Chains A and B, each alone.
Chain A
Amino acid sequence: DVQLLESGGTLVQPGGSLRLSCAASGVTFDNYAMAWVRQSPVKGLEWVSAISASGGVTYYPDSVKGRFFISRDNFRKILYLQMESLRVDDTAIYFCAMMSGAGFADLHLHSWGQGTLVRVSS
């Protein structure tokens, strides 16, 4: 079974930086595109970023473009999200999730981690 375990969530001040990690097991990690999705009571579920299996193609919505950066280490089977210039409205649970193929042809997320809480507050 696929297991995805996020870490790195914590309390950070506005304007600060944070790096989230997601360790994968039970799967051929480099066969699948990966994504970060966040959830908050105010905004609901929201795509944060996605990266192709090779790492060569990425996706960011306008809300995080230029502030968040996704990367992956296929040898260590770890997905990362580097978050810069954090804002109060970035407060959310951040989920790591696995897409169905190597690219973005199908956007459904077939496996999810349990999430890590990021709180942005002074």
Chain B
Amino acid sequence: SYELRQPPSVSVSPGQTARITCSGDALPKQYACWYQQKPGQAPVLVIKKDSERPSGIPDRFAGSTSGTTVFLTISGVQAEDEGDYFCQSADRNGTYWVFGGGTRLTVL
């Protein structure tokens, strides 16, 4: 099997920058993407292919990578950004498709 590791929670004040990490051994080889999920709603894709922003996603959302870690950075965090964030990728061979455990972003 394969795992993606995320911190359970991140807290930030409005207007500050939030950075959420996702670690996995295969991330240098496999693209990652990120989803935002609010209570009672389906996930929404906010970053694809490590750093591409789908249409309609505000430019305060950015994705980046460094080695075995990918990052979701939210600049100028707003109250509406509060929710759960999940990374998604696959193992080195593309056999196991996995989601991270999720990070709850709290806007203080």
Contact = CB atoms under 8 A, between A and B. Distances in A.
A115 B33 contact: no
For this complex, into which size category does the number of interface residues on chain B fall?
Answer: 20 to 34
Given A44-B102, A45-B99, A47-B97, A107 B90 contact: yes
Nearest to A104: B94
B45 A109 contact: yes
Contact of B44 (A100, A104, A112): A112
Given A106-B49, A107-B88, A107-B90, A112 B43 contact: yes
Contacts of B102: 44-45
For the residues of B in contact with A, the DSSP-based class is: strand
A4 to B, nearest CB: 9
Interface string A54-73: 00000101000000000000
A99 B53 CA distance: 16
Per DSSP, chain A at the interface is strand
B101 interface: yes
A89 interface: no
Nearest to A62: B1
A69 B43 CA distance: 23
B48 A45 contact: no
B42 interface: yes
Contacts of A106: 31, 48-49
B61 to A, nearest CB: 14
B89 A107 contact: yes
Given A45-B102, A108-B49, A114-B42, 8 more contacts: A44-B86, A46-B99, A50-B97, A95-B43, A106-B31, A107-B31, A108-B31, A115-B42
Across chains A and B, which 6 residue pairs bring their CB atoms closest together, nearest first? A45-B99, A112-B42, A108-B33, A108-B48, A47-B97, A110-B45
